[in-house]
Amino acid sequence: MAKLYFYYASMNAGKSTTLLQADFNYRERGLHTMLFTAAVDDRAGAGVIGSRIGLAAEAIPFEPATDLFACVMREHEVRAVNCVLVDEAQFLTAAQVDQLARLADRADIPVLAYGLRTDFRGALFEGAARLLAIADSLVELKSICPCGRKATMNLRVDADGRAVHEGRQTEIGGNDRYVALCRRHFTEALEA
């Protein structure tokens, strides 16, 4: 029976790289995958999943109104979909996570979702919260704080490297805007 997997981590843990490796493994065996990424994240280009180490693949961009279940089932009628891979899964709505669960439960298609758990304030994203609640398997990917501990938090910084305390939950950026830190150093940076 297929499962819904949630691979989560802080920034710079290799989530997109791991997703692209999983996609490669399926395709190398002649299996058909569908890749999705958040339309709001166009750092690698619109509808592109890109990793910091230079790997990239085209993906279907999703927005809050995208019906992922219907999209996958339309493709599945044409040719069998063997796996669905979702990057930037924190940007999913709770309803979209439920659609992904339905793909695993009713269509017997494994779904691998990759994303952040928390935002720059330490609050759960909607998609991450729902995935943490209902995914069959939760896998934490590791990143490292400059102190050497496991990084679990994403600190948003301004142009001068100072912690940002307020703002929209979603602000797309990479190493220029976010620093992966352990909880201790995240809290210290916010208190400074």
Instruction: Enumerate the β-bridge partners of residue 116.
Output: 9
CA distance 169 to 126: 11
The pairing of beta strand 143-144 with beta strand 150-151 = antiparallel
Q: Rounded to whole angstroms, what are the CA distances from 80 to 4, 31, 33, 73?
A: 18, 8, 9, 9
User: Is 126 an active-site residue?
Assistant: no
Q: How far apart are the first and last CA of the chain?
A: 49
Q: Indicate which residue of 28, 77, 88, 191 is catalytic.
A: 88
Instruction: Enumerate the β-bridge partners of residue 178.
Output: 156
Residue numbers annotated as active site: 88
